[in-house]
Structure 1
């Protein structure tokens, strides 16, 4: 069953426009969010059912990939700059779903990008905006690696928290999921590095030390958590109980290993990456993780293990491989920050009127059709049986249905 028809797909894609940060959460913006979410759901169906990926082809054809990159970056800036001001204005709002939709918009944009960039022509279509996207995904993955905001409850339902705390909890969960998704995008960009500019190559080898970031993630494994004396693993966009004999290798971990393999087999990257003593030490620590189970699941990593062994026997280079380049700056983030500089409080005051006002319920209900099938896609939230909005209260009798309010 399709989410939208082919004619709707063409119309939605043709009319994709950049969101204005000061209009996030408005009625006009919700219409754009609704369309992008439906496109994302339909693209998920096409990919999982091995069908012709019509949405991917049309988005590339219409040249809309840069706009989707803009959407992800715009929401990130809103979360960092405007959301704290909103919570200062309304420290205990009556509901959280309006803010949740804005935060979730980044998940939608990044999820759609991951499906498109799985293909080489998708990476090619990034053009000059590859630098903007790479900076964004490194920002998200670094947050995931640092782990400051990974300490959220994912299995326990807390009913006595304030709405403001729920909003922060939602924000942290979404940041985690976006970071996981960005690992897949990073892998696709490394895999197709020949189609990207030398500025992106420099970012990967010099400005942002991608192999060291990967090493840290593979050692810390933020996708594995303990809660209530049980061990859980984040796989296929949901948290699953992890048994002692569980040999599951989640997709994000596989992407990290394959990214490292692709990095050191790419002449564009490897030849410009200086192996210092610090880098060598961290790379050597990965050798014990390349066990038989992992190699059985991903045989190509045998070559990576051999490369690491040869690296352990080689001397550390004393010649710097740092190229002399004219640095190109990413445009999208700097343009948004310059446009709205020193206006964050003013934007928050205006947005608080419609995000927390009576109109917010009408807007949210209009999106109930968009999220009707959401449990089959990216998120694993409990959905109200009546209005299809995110719910935190479960029926005391049947223990199965969830509701957003009495």
Structure 2
């Protein structure tokens, strides 16, 4: 069997065959930060993207979830978590230096694929960790995953990570004397892409935290202690409800909700309807505040009590109708206003510490500049042959029939978000509602369209 199946050979019921998925999972391995973007890393990136799509497809079609089973059987969930944290470190420590060190960038396409990988990994973890057997399989690195999700949500609350999207890139396609886009233009586009991708990652961290909370009985005592007292997750989630990053006002004053990994307009009659992310936060709070073991271990103080009591203002009748168990939480909050702070039992725990993130920082301290210099050449200044090779493999990675089956509703115009019925005939990668939007978007779309179209002609 070839290591890379042509997407056209795969039946519409799959992104990849089960036998190929198992081979891909078995070969997953950990890469160093310096190897990110390399040929072998890129092959694994493509395979992980296919595995993630197949896992989502299996869930949505309620079919055999073989990807999840293979990840457990071959003990590869810890590898996914390690790679997720490696990409976080790369994005924070290396990516900014790459943008400084690149001299004459040709394209942002390979760098975008690296940024995209963090979202691919957390999506695959989100799909898998719903199940208790997966929670048990990550016991050795669950603290690292917990800390990662905590960093993502504190970044949201700080207003600096993936919440405020940078300004839209000017559609002017002026380039340098060689006809390439200017460095400032490519850098600005990459920053915008990074911000948008990171917002999606941050929102998936909400689901991951809920699944960790749901399976606390499968984890060591250190996990509960870190959730409740080290990170004070109840107070963090209350602050998240106050900010509600999954809701925003559109340019025309319409209410937009982040649902299904995209912003969608809410009709007036659904304004009080909970979105999935908001529901995840409430269910996590319910578990942390109502579970007897959590109540005994949570070290409430005056500040945390005052913060948690803010929830009373959100427990409206429409909310209670949608999540009836929250009635018990409402009763508990009423009792909390009347009672003295409960005495918590601080048990003597030989607490574990997360290791992956710290080891990545320690192993690469002093190397950031050299790694960035290498990656600037590899990701932003590839030759035309290298770029076409990457694009060709990227195009071959997808089964378009399966991808369209995963999408909810008709395709949307990439420019205005309206229902689209036209597709770019060259790359078949973007949808439009009409010629006006296609022409307007062409200057921005042309570089990637040229690369993908050229890759399709390579034999």
Query: TM-score of the superposition, structure 1-length normalised?
Result: 0.91
Q: Does 1:386 align with 2:426?
A: yes
RMSD: 2.7
8 A contact 1:371–1:388 mirrored in 2: no
1:26-175 matches, within 5 Å, as 26-90=38-102, 93-149=105-161, 150-152=163-165, 158-160=170-172, 162-175=185-198
Aligned residue number for residue 366 of structure 2: 342
User: What are structure 1's unaligned runs of at least 5 residues?
Assistant: none
Q: 1:363 aligns with which of 363, 378, 390?
A: 390
User: What are structure 2's unaligned runs of at least 5 residues?
Assistant: 1-11, 173-183, 415-422, 451-459
Q: Does 1:186 align with 2:209?
A: yes
**1:175-202 deviation line (CA, Å, top 9, x unaligned):** 1111111100100110110001111111
**1:267-312 deviation line (CA, Å, top 9, x unaligned):** 3322111221111111111112111111111112111111111111
Distance 1:66 1:96 in 2: 30
Q: Does 1:217 align with 2:240?
A: yes
Q: Does 1:352 align with 2:394?
A: no
C-alpha distance 360-322 of structure 1, shift in aligned 2 (>3 A): farther
8 A contact 1:368–1:387 mirrored in 2: no
**1:219-266 deviation line (CA, Å, top 9, x unaligned):** 110111223242311111110123443233111110000000011232
8 A contact 2:93–2:368 mirrored in 1: yes
Distance 1:320 1:233 in 2: 39
Distance 1:7 1:219 in 2: 46
8 A contact 2:227–2:233 mirrored in 1: yes
C-alpha distance 79-136 of structure 1, shift in aligned 2 (>3 A): same
**1:342-401 deviation line (CA, Å, top 9, x unaligned):** 101101111222212112342133112335645746999959653466899x96586699
Q: Tell me how far 1:147 sits from its aligned partner.
A: 2.0
8 A contact 1:272–1:321 mirrored in 2: yes
Aligned residue number for residue 275 of structure 1: 300
Greater shift in the superposed pair: 157-166 or 23-32: 157-166
Q: Tell me how far 1:164 sits from its aligned partner.
A: 0.5
C-alpha distance 78-206 of structure 1, shift in aligned 2 (>3 A): same
Q: Does 1:284 align with 2:306?
A: no
Aligned residue number for residue 265 of structure 1: 290
Q: 2:325 aligns with which of 300, 314, 319?
A: 300
**1:80-131 deviation line (CA, Å, top 9, x unaligned):** 0110110011267332121111111111111111111101111111121111
Greater shift in the superposed pair: 367-376 or 332-341: 367-376
SS in 1 for 2:248: strand
Q: 1:232 aligns with which of 242, 252, 256?
A: 256
C-alpha distance 227-9 of structure 1, shift in aligned 2 (>3 A): same
Q: Which has the larger radius of gyration?
A: 2
C-alpha distance 369-298 of structure 1, shift in aligned 2 (>3 A): farther
Distance 2:56 2:360 in 1: 29
8 A contact 1:152–1:172 mirrored in 2: yes
Q: Does 1:13 align with 2:25?
A: yes
8 A contact 2:166–2:191 mirrored in 1: no
Distance 1:354 1:385 in 2: 30
Aligned residue number for residue 356 of structure 2: 332
Distance 1:380 1:59 in 2: 33
